[in-house]
Amino acid sequence: MKISRSFLARIAAGLRGQCSFDEPMARHTSFRIGGPADLLAIPADVADLQNLLAVLGRSVPYMVIGNGTNLLVGDRGIRGVVIKIGSGLTAVERNGTAMTVAAGMRLPKLVEVCQAQGLSGLEWAVGIPGSVGGALVMNAGAYGGQMSDVVTAASGLTPSGDRTTVAAKDINFSYRHAEYPCGFIITGCRLQLKADKPAAIKARTRQWLQKRKANQPLSLPSAGCIFKNPPNDSARRLIGVAGLRGARLGGAQVSRKHANFIVNYGGATAADVLKLMDQVRNRVYKEIGIELIPEVKVVGVK
């Protein structure tokens, strides 16, 4: 059930940042898929976010997103408020080889900053279009590196809006997964990096970016890898062995370039993607006996 427009308007009135009603989530996901959110709110800063949480209280459902790069939103959208951690939280500060980074900063931009300042440890993230906050939520990684390798602490807010910090040792990091206190909203993090020559860092980032461009279907909307890699194997290989490269359902297609990508070939719906995911999982399990676990997060009303 939708929340009344008048009540949402009162919520929006207290926000200093941006907001919009019935906002199509397709505009805020890399899949370019998703129905409308009752209210999309982009806080201007942490204080604005605190005020928003105070107004929402426990009576209004809400969810927090970053850059929407690992997200599949249902075709009927999201009821309640979607809080997008974006342009209002992008500050970065260096202290020796440590960096404090706001959650809204995009990973490619952070990689550029680190390279310019001679700080190594995030070269693997080049070309990943997500935000720092999103990368922390899913322990993003590639080419042997991951966020848990460099994070020393995550800063954020409790559901009541209190500022708090969680040390890395208290975050249950695992493969493409991280566990934080219930309701914890990430607003930033501290990273421990290593000093290196900018030229050397640039060479490594160029290498990873070239590999990404050669192996991934970057010209079409997607949510990145759709399934987690099974232990000692790759979902890409298994899907290829099952003969599913190029399989298509509606506007969704298993990429021929990288079989663990489902791409929006044109006009794909969330229903198309979910049905195609089910077909892939069922075929791989039937023919190879391995169950693929989704990496993409599915939210909203199907």
User: Which CATH number does the domain housing residue 61 bear?
Assistant: 3.30.43.10
Residues 241 and 283 in one domain: yes
In sequence order, the 6+-apart residues with CB closer than 8 A to the CB of 242 are 280, 283, 284, 287, 288
Q: What is the pTM of this model?
A: 0.94
Share of the chain above pLDDT 70, in %: 99
In a domain, 208, yes or no: no
Across the strands, what pairs with 101?
92, 189
In a domain, residue 206? The reply is no
Q: Are residues 79 and 97 in the same domain?
A: no
Check pLDDT > 80 for residue 9: yes
Q: What is the pLDDT of residues 30-56, one digit of tens each?
A: 999 999 999 999 999 999 999 999 999
Q: Name which of 252, 249, 250, 264 is nearest 218 in CA terms.
A: 264
Cite the beta strand spans of 206-301 per DSSP E. Answer: 222-225, 248-249, 252-254, 261-264, 297-299
Of 200, 233, 251, the last residue of a domain is 200
CB 74 within 8 A of CB 301: yes
Q: Which domain holds residue 115?
A: 92-200
| CA separation, residue 295 to residues 77, 130, 138 (Å) | 20, 14, 9
Task: Tell me the per-residue pLDDT of 186-241, one tens digit each, with 9 for 90 and over.
Answer: 999 999 999 999 999 999 999 999 999 999 999 999 999 999 999 999 999 999 99
